[in-house]
């Protein structure tokens, strides 16, 4: 042991790290997300962690804090790494990727991207400086089929159903409905209405009503119509009828209602309550142009969005002179996962992926144990071989501490009898490594 | 289309990025590596991309160029992000992780870590500034069982066998054998011998001989013995006999030969030529203390190591006063993969994970297509539903361009007949979505 001064390792605020048993659950989340994305045929894309600063800033100064890179031993001859910044989302890299590889991609380009992103936030509780986003997008030349407006929330629905989560709802709206409806009411600043209506959660109906009058000069009928619209909720296309009954007609409104109706009809087979048309959902409307999504925990709105997204125009306009609209949803994995961990809402179990521990009762039986482990592994079972001949009690405790569900006793000789112990109930039975199945569930 | 100035996206030297069809192959590599690691029960660990600089530098100034982070809009009140650096390998983070979570881990701690690392290199062809490493290590308190010296190369063997690679060999040596043998020859600076012998590839036998005499003052017998040792190769424990015959005895040599023999005996069932004891393999010997590994392409030594590793002492000595030796192997995924891509050695196929494309011949058959796709997906087949009713020819071309192997024709009505076309041979047959199997291979 050296006498040198120790460097005491401490967690770095905003950079989450998990112990193995929590990581097992996070991996299950990541696997569920990836598997579902792929089951719909979306391809994987990864981009470098960095982009050139002019790419990151192509739309003007971003509101996100960007981390730039600097070589520790940078000298006068520094070759410009300071012009590289860690990406702060996956949208900018995707836009750049599609522009750069335009001629190599098949459109509609259906991709998912699961990667870490970084934001140069001041250290602060609950603020992540490194976190994983899981994005799925469809980008096409000139026009994206409405098919995807319905497919993306179905994919998210399938993912969330596969995770062990508190109750959640996918809220759907359509920006054309909002904008078309406001225009039909003779309102000249529909974006202003949307901006104010988006504060409903914070300032309530009275506050919104006041802002409509004071800030936008809306009259009483207009205010009533806007508030009536924002209160409409529904799980099927009956919401279209409800909006119709508020009156007002415009081409944009008709288009939006057709789209919203199509999406809701397409999802009518999903369990009741999991998808909800919510005409109060607005979401950053400088960006979105049609269908918008926002998914939240039903009973914990303070968690913020589990995921969000929608339709947008001209993704890569800063990099290429092609019209490339898209639609996408982003799952904020780390933010949600870390909060559930902190709140004790994540159930952990094993700290390793092993299905079986094969014990080594003595050096004489080691070869028999080696062979048994190889047979089980060959059948797709994750199998640990205990690392030395030792007392059985010690090996059983090792399995129990790691949460390995089965302990296997290899035979004394080649033709002998195998036994397997189920640690959940303590039963030990004879078994054939070539055909043994673990208990269901 | 806006008139703004375009930012032309260009590749950034040292930060690799793949098109979707290359990414499919990279994902297959990553999945093979992970699945094999897990089949032996190793758990997943991920650490933040950054470490505190004092953690990165705990062993003194590193020879690696480190990237530090700097907030783009950093002001006078900067809260010290400049003291954070991106990790340059996975060994330092693992040492810090084990020290920090010491009381939460089960030992021997068997973990794998697959993550990107960064090095602040000057831009230069073939130099990666961001790349993915795949590390597997076992860390234990005080002593690591010899079992793992044999298990780790077997895991690597299984991984490499599962990839479509040019011929490779896993070379194995043992530092105790080298050091013990040199000591038995009366050589006072065994590390010096190892340092020079390690240059055999570069300066040849004559150069090594000269350096032994000039730099270390070895006599003729000592030089002959050292060169004889370095020439020993063998696929089984007969190498132990060959070393024995060179003469010389020391406790360390005996210990090393026992260990080397155990490892080679344990791997005797593997295909001939894939594992080779090579007494010329040295590897950074300030670090390694026993078994060492180095895997290279048999016919392309200029590729450098596919993977390398070995036994080391006291991993986390900079952070905790516990003796924590370990053994590990690191696969340099990006370096090898990128070079194979550049050399046209990677066979690409599909650009997406889809097994089947379900076509939508008309809007009337869309519901039938939706139901069919759901059935196939439910059976674990990655299934794309074409995004709109369109000419069949166009949908077939879409499948062919993406490399989707099967195109499915849903029936006109619920009880009608399904057909599936195999794009590899053009045959189209009737099929039941509930039971259809894709052709083997």
Q: Contact B398/A106, CB-based, under 8 Å?
A: yes
| Spatial distance between the Cα atoms of A175 and A195, rounded to a whole number of angstroms | 12
pLDDT at A198 over 70: yes
Q: What DSSP state is assigned to residue A344?
A: T
| Contact present, B41 and A398 (Cβ < 8 Å) | no
Q: Contact A46/B314, CB-based, under 8 Å?
A: no
B68 is in an annotated binding site: no
CB atoms within 10 A of CB A117: 22
Q: Where does the pLDDT of residue A107 fall: very low under 50, low under 70, confident under 90, or very high at 90 and above? A: very high
Nearest residue in chain A measured CA to CA from B96: A9
Supply the pLDDT for residue B59. Answer: 79
Supply the pLDDT for residue A441. Answer: 62
B86, B353, B357 member nearest A38 (Cβ): B353
Which of B144, B200, B196 has its CA nearest to residue B171? B200
Supply the pLDDT for residue B164. Answer: 86
| Spatial distance between the Cα atoms of B160 and B332, rounded to a whole number of angstroms | 12
A43, A48, A351 member nearest B15 (Cβ): A48
| Spatial distance between the Cα atoms of B319 and B52, rounded to a whole number of angstroms | 13
Q: State pLDDT tens for residues B4-34.
A: 689 989 899 999 999 999 999 999 999 999 9
Q: Which domains, and CATH codes, for chain A? A: 20-71+78-342 (3.30.930.10), 356-431 (3.40.50.800)
Rounded to a whole number, what is the distance in Å from the CA of B366 to chain A's nearest CA?
10
B137 is in an annotated binding site: yes
Q: Where does the pLDDT of residue A194 fall: very low under 50, low under 70, confident under 90, or very high at 90 and above? A: confident
B293 is in an annotated binding site: no
Q: Which residues contact residue A149 at a Cβ distance below 8 angstroms, ignoring those fewer than 6 apart?
A: A259, A262, A263, A290, A291, A311, A327
Q: Contact B6/A318, CB-based, under 8 Å?
A: yes
Enumerate the β-bridge partners of residue A327.
Answer: A138, A311
| Spatial distance between the Cα atoms of B187 and B253, rounded to a whole number of angstroms | 14
Q: What DSSP state is assigned to residue A162?
A: H
Nearest residue in chain B measured CA to CA from A356: B41
Nearest residue in chain A measured CA to CA from B379: A39
Nearest residue in chain A measured CA to CA from B71: A67
Buried b (16+ CB within 10 A) or exposed e, A281-296: bbbebeebbbbbbbbb
B43, B73, B104 member nearest A353 (Cβ): B43
Rounded to a whole number, what is the distance in Å from the CA of B193 to chain A's nearest CA?
26
* φ and ψ at residue B33, rounded to 5 degrees: -65, -50
A39, A50, A354 member nearest B377 (Cβ): A39
B428 is in an annotated binding site: no
Q: Contact A314/B1, CB-based, under 8 Å?
A: yes
Which of A328, A42, A36 has its CA nearest to residue A163? A36
| Radius of gyration for chain A, computed over Cα atoms and rounded to the nearest angstrom | 28
Tell me the pLDDT of chain B averaged across its residues. 92
Q: Which residues of A touch B110 (CB under 8 A)?
A: 352, 384
A90 is in an annotated binding site: yes
Q: Which residues of A touch B101 (CB under 8 A)?
A: 19
pLDDT at B1 over 50: no
pLDDT at A340 over 50: yes
Enumerate the β-bridge partners of residue A328.
Answer: A137, A310
Per this entry, what is the length of chain A? 441
Element spanning A67, H or E: strand A67-71
Q: Contact B20/A43, CB-based, under 8 Å?
A: yes
Q: Where does the pLDDT of residue A81 fall: very low under 50, low under 70, confident under 90, or very high at 90 and above? A: low
Rounded to a whole number, what is the distance in Å from the CA of A52 to chain B's nearest CA?
8
Q: Which residues of A touch B97 (CB under 8 A)?
A: 9, 17
Q: State pLDDT tens for residues B263-290.
A: 999 999 999 889 999 998 877 667 899 9
A133 is in an annotated binding site: yes
Rounded to a whole number, what is the distance in Å from the CA of B300 to chain A's nearest CA?
28
A23, A321, A387 member nearest B45 (Cβ): A23
Spell out the alpha helix ranges (H) of B53-146.
53-56, 91-100
Q: Contact B145/A385, CB-based, under 8 Å?
A: no
* φ and ψ at residue B312, rounded to 5 degrees: -140, 160
Q: Which residues of A touch B79 (CB under 8 A)?
A: 122-123
Query: For helices B147-162 and B251-266, what crossing angle results, to 10°?
Result: 40
Token code pair at residue A76: 């006068």
Q: Which residues of B touch A63 (CB under 8 A)?
A: none
Contacts of B378-382 spanning 24+ positions with Cβ under 8 A: B379/B433, B379/B434, B380/A39, B381/A39, B381/B355, B381/B356, B381/B438, B382/A38, B382/A39, B382/A40, B382/A41, B382/B353, B382/B354, B382/B355, B382/B356
Give one DSSP letter per residue of A174-217, joined into a string. EHHHHHHHHHHTT-S-HHHHHHHHTTHHHHHHHHHHHHHHHHH-
Q: Which residues of A touch B317 (CB under 8 A)?
A: 1-2, 4
pLDDT at B144 over 80: yes
In order of A208, B69, B357, B405, the CA distances from B408 in angstroms are 52, 51, 6, 10
pLDDT at A284 over 70: no
Supply the pLDDT for residue A85. Answer: 95
Q: State pLDDT tens for residues B284-343.
A: 667 899 999 999 999 887 788 999 999 998 888 899 999 999 999 999 999 999 999 999
Q: Which residues of B touch A42 (CB under 8 A)?
A: 352-353
Nearest residue in chain B measured CA to CA from A147: B387
Q: Which residues contact residue B124 at a Cβ distance below 8 angstroms, ignoring those fewer than 6 apart?
A: B13, B14
Average pLDDT over residues A37-57: 96
Give one DSSP letter per residue of B371-412, joined into a string. HHHHHHHHTT--EEEPSS---HHHHHHHHHHHT--EEEE--S
Supply the pLDDT for residue A3. Answer: 54
| Spatial distance between the Cα atoms of B295 and B50, rounded to a whole number of angstroms | 29
Supply the pLDDT for residue B284. Answer: 66
Q: Which residues of B touch A130 (CB under 8 A)?
A: 48-50
In order of A126, A152, B176, the CA distances from B345 in angstroms are 46, 36, 38
B53, B266, B352 member nearest A43 (Cβ): B352
Q: Where does the pLDDT of residue A1 fall: very low under 50, low under 70, confident under 90, or very high at 90 and above? A: very low
pLDDT at A108 over 70: yes
Q: Contact A108/B387, CB-based, under 8 Å?
A: yes
A7, A319, A320 member nearest B55 (Cβ): A7
A91 is in an annotated binding site: yes
Rounded to a whole number, what is the distance in Å from the CA of B323 to chain A's nearest CA?
7
Rounded to a whole number, what is the distance in Å from the CA of B226 to chain A's nearest CA?
32
A119 is in an annotated binding site: yes
Supply the pLDDT for residue A181. Answer: 95
Spell out the alpha helix ranges (H) of A15-90.
20-39, 53-56
Q: Contact B351/A18, CB-based, under 8 Å?
A: no
- Is ipTM over 0.90? yes
- Side-chain-side CA neighbours of residue B50 (13 Å): 30
Element spanning A292, H or E: strand A288-297
Rounded to a whole number, what is the distance in Å from the CA of A382 to chain B's nearest CA?
4
Supply the pLDDT for residue A217. Answer: 94
Supply the pLDDT for residue B201. Answer: 79
Q: Which residues of A touch B390 (CB under 8 A)?
A: none
Rounded to a whole number, what is the distance in Å from the CA of B410 to chain A's nearest CA?
17
A-to-B residue pairs, Cβ atoms closer than 8 angstroms = 267
Q: Which residues contact residue A394 at a Cβ distance below 8 angstroms, ignoring those fewer than 6 apart?
A: none
Token code pair at residue B137: 């290590």
């Amino acid at each position: 042991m050296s006498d040198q001064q120790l460097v005491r390792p401490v967690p770095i605020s905003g950079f989450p790290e998990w112990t193995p048993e929590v990581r097992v659950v996070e991996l299950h989340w990541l696997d569920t997300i990836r598997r579902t994305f792929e089951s719909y045929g979306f391809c994987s894309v990864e981009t470098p962690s960095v982009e050139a600063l002019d790419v990151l800033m192509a739309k003007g100064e971003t509101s996100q804090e960007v981390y730039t890179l600097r070589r520790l031993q940078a000298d006068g001859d520094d070759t410009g790494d300071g012009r590289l910044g860690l990406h702060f989302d996956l949208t900018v890299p995707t836009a750049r990727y599609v522009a750069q590889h335009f001629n190599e991609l098949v459109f509609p380009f259906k991709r998912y991207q699961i990667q870490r992103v970084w934001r140069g936030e001041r250290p602060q509780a609950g603020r992540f400086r490194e976190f994983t986003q899981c994005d799925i997008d469809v980008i096409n030349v000139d026009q994206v089929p409405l098919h995807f407006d319905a497919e993306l929330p179905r994919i998210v629905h399938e993912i969330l159903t596969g995770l062990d989560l508190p109750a959640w709802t996918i809220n759907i709206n359509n920006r054309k409905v909002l904008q078309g409806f406001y225009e039909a009411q003779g309102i000249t600043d529909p974006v202003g209405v949307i901006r104010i209506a988006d504060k409903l959660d914070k300032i309530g109906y009275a506050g919104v009503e006041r802002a409509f009058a004071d800030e936008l000069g809306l009259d009483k009928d207009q205010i009533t119509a806007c508030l009536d619209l924002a209160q409409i909720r529904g799980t099927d296309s009956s919401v279209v009828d409800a909006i119709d009954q508020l009156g007002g007609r415009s081409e944009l409104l008709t288009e939006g209602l057709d789209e919203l109706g199509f999406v809701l009809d397409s999802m009518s087979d999903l369990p009741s309550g999991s998808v909800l048309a919510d005409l109060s959902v607005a979401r950053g409307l400088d960006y979105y142009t049609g269908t918008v999504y926002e998914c939240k925990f039903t009973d914990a709105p303070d968690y913020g969005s589990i995921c969000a997204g929608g339709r947008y125009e001209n993704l890569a306009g800063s990099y290429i002179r092609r019209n490339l609209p898209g639609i996408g949803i982003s799952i904020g994995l780390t933010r949600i996962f870390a909060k559930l961990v902190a709140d004790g809402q994540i159930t952990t179990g094993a700290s390793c992926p092993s299905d079986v521990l094969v014990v080594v009762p003595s050096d004489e039986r080691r070869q028999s144990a080696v062979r048994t482990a190889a047979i089980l592994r060959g059948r797709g079972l994750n199998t640990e071989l205990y690392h030395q001949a030792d007392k059985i009690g010690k090996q059983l405790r090792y399995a129990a501490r790691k949460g390995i569900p089965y302990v296997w006793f290899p035979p004394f000789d080649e033709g002998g009898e195998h036994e397997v112990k189920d640690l959940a109930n303590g039963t030990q039975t004879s078994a054939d490594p070539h055909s043994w199945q673990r208990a269901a569930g």
